[in-house]
Amino acid sequence: MYDNNYNGRTFEEEYASIRGMNAFIAKVFGWMFIGLMLTAGVSFYVASTPSLVYGIVNNPILLFGLFIGEIVLVSVLSARITRLRTVTAAVMFLIYAVLNGITLSFVLLIYTGESVASAFGITALTFGIMSVYGYFTRADLTRFRNILFMGLIGVLVLSVVNMFLGSSGLGWLISMLSLFVFLGLTAHDMQTLKGYYFGTEGNEVLRGNVGIIGALGLYLDFVNLLLIFLRLFGRSRD
């Protein structure tokens, strides 16, 4: 009645593999959701505590240390993810979410609550659409990795240049370029999760580790999209 062979595997084996992959991806999204909720909670707490805001703003060394800490955590996770214990990788990811929550708290002080809520809704919708596309598309998105990476480098360079120029036109260009880069990265990172799952077959420890790095990638995509939509559509407080 039907072909009972799928790439050398039976229908039952193929079905079990798909179920396993979906469970893996669901777990990755669970970690991403925990990270986002932790970041949001820390951001709202810091933003609503004037003494903390005052202490951070008036301590450049502390503020600089927060940014350095975030960079170090991401670098270590990316470079040593195959050698870390899963618990250690998860703790490092959560610490990063906390530090990012502290630095992002100042965004809540710049934009109105309505702007933040609207930007979050738009981000969730676009992130969801690109994630679904990345999951179901048959196109090989890894071939666009270098283009997306070069686009990200271009965004960073233009952002540094605009710190000195203060050009609103260049700022708009940076936002649009950033939008396309992170939309592409969202789809790419989602497709990469499937590769992580099948590439770690038989090694549950490594699979758990790459799941954490996958959650970090999606987390960063979501946060950056949120910041982009705030820059494009957000209204500043009076």
CB atoms within 10 A of CB 181: 22
Residue 204 and residue 138: Cα distance in Å, rounded?
26
**pLDDT at 12 exceeding the cut of 70:** no
- Mean local confidence (pLDDT), 183-206: 88
Domain ranges of the chain: 11-233
Query: pTM, whole model, 2 decimals?
Result: 0.89
Per-residue pLDDT tens over the stretch 18-69: 888 889 999 999 999 999 999 999 999 999 998 888 888 888 888 889 989 9
Three-state DSSP class for residue 184: helix
Cβ neighbours of residue 191 closer than 8 Å, sequence gap 6 or more: 134, 135, 137, 141, 142
Nearest to 229 by CA among 132, 85, 83, 121: 121
- Give yes or no for residue 101 having a pLDDT over 60: yes
Q: How far apart are CA 125 and CA 138, in angstroms?
A: 22
Using the predicted structure, report yes or no on whether residue 11 has a pLDDT greater than 90. Answer: no
**If pLDDT is split at 50, 70 and 90, which confidence band does 125 have?**
very high
How far apart (Å, rounded) are the C-alpha atoms in residues 228 and 212? Answer: 24
Q: Are 209 and 81 in contact (CB under 8 A)?
A: yes
The phi and psi torsions of 44 (rounded to 5 degrees) equal -65, -35
Model confidence at 3, pLDDT cuts 50, 70, 90, reads very low
| For residues 146-151, average pLDDT | 86
As a whole number of angstroms, the distance between CA 205 and CA 107 comes to: 37
**Which token pair is 55?**
């202490």
Task: Record the tokens describing residue 85, joined without a space.
Answer: 């214990």
Give the integer Cα–Cα distance in Å for 209 and 76: 13
* pLDDT beyond 80 at 237: no
> Long-range contacts: 175-183, Cβ < 8 Å, 24+?
175/228, 175/231, 175/232, 177/151, 178/224, 178/228, 179/225, 179/228, 179/232, 180/151, 181/148, 181/151, 181/152, 181/155, 182/221, 182/224, 182/225, 182/228, 183/126, 183/130, 183/225
